[in-house]
Chain A
Amino acid sequence: MGKLTGAEIFIESLYHEKVETIFGYPGGAVLPIYNVLYDAKFEHIMPHHEQGGIHAADGYARSTGKVGVCIATSGPGGTNLVTGLATAYMDSVPIVAFTGQVPRSMLGTDAFQEADITGITTPITKHNYLVQDVKDLGRIIKEAFHIASTGRPGPVLIDIPKDVLLEKCEFLYPKELNLPGYSPNYNGHSMQIKEAAKAINEAQKPVIYSGGGVIISGASDYLRQLAKKGSIPVTTTLTGLGAFDERDDLSLGMLGMHGTTEANLAVSNADLLIAIGSRFDDRVTGKLEKFAAEAKVIHIDIDPAEVGKRVEIDIPIVGDVRRILEKLNPLVEDRSREDWSKQIDNWRKLDDTEVIEKKKLSPKQIIENISDLTQGDALITTEVGQHQMWSAQFYQYTKPRSFMTSGGLGTMGYGFPAAIGVQVGNKDKNVFALAGDGSFQMNSQELATVAKNKLPINIIIFNNGYLGMVRQWQEMFYERRYSSVCLKKQDDCPPGCSSPGDHCPIMIPDFVKLAGAYGIKAKRVSKKEDVRSALEWAINSPEPILLDFIIEEEENVFPMVPPGGSLDKMVLKGDVE
């Protein structure tokens, strides 16, 4: 191929990796890349903040299963990626992030826009590289894509000094990988798989606790097969939603802090817990000693470090979830478990208390309408807060890769830019960005990206005038002392006001006008009877639409397991209202 510059090698390598879409933002150190991108055949989406760019790459990756690619310049460009890398790292999302760096001769001199981005990102990436020689660039890019997308996926960062991008060398994309320190174990131990099957066949009250790993490994079909065969109820984590069709009788919905009564009680009373691609996060387990206290535990996961990290495991199986279920399922006996399912059905009824009608819109009504109108076929992203939990609870998920949310890191500002990547990767799908009025403002500049790329995202604002989730904790655990959670509060408000009402100043910003400033059509919805028609308008519109739903200010998320409490001690809506 003759001699190529580092920037050209970058482009050629991305062709080799079959990259179609890049989310990138230019700057001095990456000028050589942007110069060759000018002629390249990638779809290049420019966000309006690097954080927006990397969250978009994340949404693209989660929704398509491909590696998300983003570019940022040196210094502030790189540091703006930090939250996005940490978000992707926590939820095991494959991303390759490229950053420009100052020329090699200036490294370590505090040069203009120099930041030690490999040092900064070491604890929040699966691996990272500082390219010291243009001859290494092709190999490093190949390794990065491999590392990001295999084993337990995660973000990989490649930092490239500007002079490396300009230097020339012979280019041959390596065929082989040579990574002696990296060999994920895919095939579970067959003796352990037999042990697991035996435990499943002997169990009277088994529960499957399924996590994001099931989606990542593409094991949803095998999960269904396992559940059906053994009549085993399935609960999923937040990031695991969609792995199991929630319309199925065996679905228990989500477990954990805001899980369903049936999921939390089933886990608390189970005699066998089958953890698949999940990691016993504290928001899932609550008080650890009480979590599945009666149960024998099987844990299937690709990351050995997760097995036994928080909970003692009786039958650990390290490997790829799909391959393991493929081998496990034939060993599982066909059987029904009527007593167990009857007991679970009784737990389902615990949370059936009639909701008291309130003046303003209920988030439940809005989300159930979206669910009904799209029949579980939409792609949903959320921000972080109450609306995130409501989105998890009230939308009926039917497919893997249909729910994109920051589970591990809980990143406000994730969902809206992520929706950009989701829509770019799924052009013909209905994409909903379900956003809190607080979170949305963390990356609302991406309205420009949506408008300019004419991405028909449905942006749904849950406008409660509060940082609602924090307000809920202040209400429940801090004697309703609302401190820095009211989004309407201005300097002339009475000090210590904790009661929203008609006397409040108007909400800043006006989201409808904000959308208007970007040329995006928007509507404010405050009446129950307008909810469905507004949603229909958005869904049927070929353009982006923003809907500003004015919801009840002090609505809370229930059920709730108070932090550190055990899963069987839930606070229900009926307990407080």
Chain B
Amino acid sequence: MKHTVSVLVANESGVLARIASLFSRRGFNIESLSVGKTQDDHISRITIVVEGDNKVLEQLTKQLNKLIVVHKISDLTNEEVVSRGLALIKVTATAATRSEIMQIVDIFRGKIVDVSSNSIMVEITGTEEKVNAIEDLLRPFGIKELVRTGKIAMARGRK
């Protein structure tokens, strides 16, 4: 099962290395990871998507908690959350296929951010499923290049 874990860490050098070292040493399987600032300059948020059962998640949480640089861990898996990822996809586009591609992008409320004589670059944000879906639909046209960010997530409401 996939878990989304949000980790608040001290914003200082070497933090990511500590976390990466812990994951590789203990054999935790990271699906995606994203790091960024928070409203507090001293604190960064790392959102980790990890594969494993509840026991794996429990060990991961406990081991992460032992790192002095880790301030707080929340498991967002069963929470009401808004989660997003971003992808840039460069698709082969000919005069014949261009409008069909643009239609698909439109349905997904994506954006065309660059056009050349033989390709189109698409920007898409959304849940993992949404990004997967557009990727699947664009694949038959020929994906020249693709880049995706890790997932970021935040609990809804007053929390």
Residue ranges of A at the interface with B (Cβ–Cβ < 8 Å): 118-119, 122-123, 126-127, 130, 132, 147, 179-182, 303-305, 308-309
Contacts and interface: CB of A to CB of B under 8 A. Distances in A.
A181 B71 contact: yes
> Range of interface residues on chain B?
20 to 34
Nearest to A154: B66
Minimum-distance CB pairs A-B, first 6: A305-B62, A127-B68, A181-B71, A122-B21, A181-B68, A182-B68
B62 A304 contact: yes
B55 to A, nearest CB: 8
B68 to A, nearest CB: 5
Given A122-B21, A123-B22, A305-B63, 16 more contacts: A119-B14, A122-B18, A127-B68, A130-B14, A132-B13, A180-B71, A181-B67, A181-B68, A181-B69, A181-B70, A181-B71, A303-B66, A304-B62, A305-B59, A305-B65, A308-B58
B17 A304 contact: no
B134 interface: no
B25 interface: yes
Interface in B104-157: none
Contacts of B58: 308
B45 to A, nearest CB: 14
B65 A123 contact: no
B30 interface: no
A294 B67 CA distance: 35
Interface of B: 9-10, 13-14, 17-18, 21-22, 25, 55, 58-59, 62-63, 65-71
A158 B18 CA distance: 15
A100 B63 CA distance: 29
Contacts of B10: 181
Contacts of A119: 14, 17
Contacts of A182: 68
A147 B67 CA distance: 11
B65 A304 contact: yes
A118 B67 CA distance: 14
A305 B68 contact: no
A85 to B, nearest CB: 14
Nearest to B22: A123
A564 B63 CA distance: 26
B66 A305 contact: yes
A303 B17 CA distance: 23
A179 B66 CA distance: 12
A126 B63 CA distance: 11
A46 B59 CA distance: 41
B17 A122 contact: yes
A147 B17 contact: no
Nearest to A119: B17
Contacts of B65: 304-305
A246 B62 CA distance: 35
A181 B73 CA distance: 11
Contacts of B21: 122-123
A346 B62 CA distance: 42
